[in-house]
């Protein structure tokens, strides 16, 4: 599993390094299925992407992917808020963008993956 497939962008790596207790807490929430709505969305939306799920079949990779996706989702939501959108609209835009990322990562050919990952950097 490459770092790109786990959405380990520079900002995601920095967040994980700065907040290890938060990451540990999120791992526990996923295992107990007691996540926040955004985290729940990031984790359970993966079910719609069979090729991506096949790459993330081992539970550890799925947990890491969900955590990284949650970080990316929060960054996207913050970006939409900074652009002047209201909370619910920013959330909806972040959801749609994350689903586009999942869709690109779900492709069998890596062309879409490279474009998505480059835009996240």
Residue 10 has pLDDT above 60, yes or no: yes
75 class by beta-carbon count within 10 Å (0-12 exposed, 13-18 middle, 19+ buried):
middle
Average pLDDT, the chain: 86
- pLDDT tens sequence across 79-98: 999 999 999 999 999 999 99
Task: Give the residue-averaged pLDDT of 23-47.
Answer: 91
Q: How confident is the model at residue 106 (pLDDT cuts 50, 70, 90)?
A: confident
Containing domain of residue 45, as a range? 4-120
Confidence of residue 53 (pLDDT cuts 50, 70, 90): confident
Closest among 52, 55, 71 to 9, alpha carbons compared: 71
| Nearest-angstrom CA–CA distance, 74 and 56 | 21
- Do the Cβ atoms of 6 and 68 come closer than 8 Å? yes
Dihedral Cα 101, 105, 111, 114, nearest 10 deg:
60
- Please tell me the total count of domains within the chain: 1
Beta carbons of 30 and 63 less than 8 angstroms apart: yes
Cβ neighbours for 1, distance < 8 A, ≥ 6 positions apart: 55, 56, 61
- 110: which 2 tokens? 């890596």
pLDDT per residue over 57-79, tens digit each?
A: 887 888 899 999 999 999 999 99
Distance CA 92, CA 33 (A): 22
């Amino acid at each position: 599993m490459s770092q790109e497939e786990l959405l380990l962008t520079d900002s995601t790596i920095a967040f994980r390094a700065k907040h290890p207790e938060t990451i540990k807490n999120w791992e526990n929430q996923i295992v107990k299925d007691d996540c926040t709505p955004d985290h729940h969305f990031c984790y359970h939306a993966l079910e719609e992407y069979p090729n991506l799920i096949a790459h993330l079949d081992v539970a550890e990779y799925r947990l890491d992917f969900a955590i990284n996706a949650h970080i990316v989702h929060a960054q996207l939501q913050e970006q939409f808020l900074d652009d002047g959108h209201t909370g619910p609209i920013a959330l909806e835009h972040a959801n749609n963008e994350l689903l586009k990322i999942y869709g690109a990562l779900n492709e069998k050919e890596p062309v879409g993956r490279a474009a998505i990952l480059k835009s996240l950097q």
